[in-house]
Amino acid sequence: MQTVNGLPAHVLLVHAIVVLLPLSAALLVLTAFWPAVRRRLAGPNAFLGVLVVILVPITTSAGEWLEHRLAPNALIHRHAELGDTAIYAAIAVAALALIVWWRQREANGNTPTKRTYLAPTSGRVTAAVGLVAIIVSGAAVYDIIRIGDSGAKASWSDWAQRSQ
């Protein structure tokens, strides 16, 4: 899938990443610290995190397809390089969202066995997971902003120069 209704797929798919990855990052911080939110949203956020991990390579692949059809440009090349880092941010957010969800499952006793692996009742572990959630989420949002900014510059720099 390289085009959708005549438009490059990357142009459309990138909007999903720009919305869903920061959303998952914000939910990660909320679920890490707020037990009521964790009970309700840890599972859906784990699913969302995994969905983003699946969407990122599809989006970057569509972006590479588009890059090879455009005239060589340093701004586009820079955007493509930065875009390759999105998968690391997505994996980190998804992995931590899965940890938060699994800890919630263990705390509720909803695991196949009664054994616990991620110390669901430990306040220290919860605080550590929360701290890591803040760092990972902040880094993921910052990464998406950098990637998006470079993409906007690559897309609109010619137009801005012509309109002056």
- 53-100 pLDDT, tens digit per residue, is 999 999 999 999 988 988 889 999 999 999 999 999 999 999 999 999
Buried-exposed string 46-69: b where 16+ CB fall within 10 A, e elsewhere = bebbbebbebbeebbebbeebbee
pTM for this prediction:
0.90
Residue-level pLDDT at 161 = 58
Here the tokens at position 138 are 């902040």
Q: Could you read off the pLDDT of 101-136 as tens digits, one per residue?
A: 999 988 887 766 677 777 777 889 999 999 999 999
The confidence score (pLDDT) of residue 72 equals 86
Confidence at residue 102, expressed as pLDDT on a 0 to 100 scale: 92
Averaged pLDDT, 14-22: 97
The pLDDT of residue 7 is above 80: yes
pLDDT at 162 over 70: no
Q: Counting every residue, how long is the chain? A: 164
Q: For the chain, first and last CA: distance in Å?
A: 37
pLDDT at position 35 is 94
In the block, tokens 């899938």 appear at 1
Task: Provide the pLDDT for residue 41.
Answer: 98
Distance CA 151, CA 10 (A): 11
Query: Does residue 149 carry a pLDDT above 80?
Result: yes
pLDDT at 23: 98
Asked if residue 37 has pLDDT above 80, the reply is: yes
User: Quick one: average pLDDT of 29-56?
Assistant: 97
Task: Give pLDDT, residue 1.
Answer: 62
State both tokens at 96.
């931590």
| Mean pLDDT, rounded, for 33-53 | 97
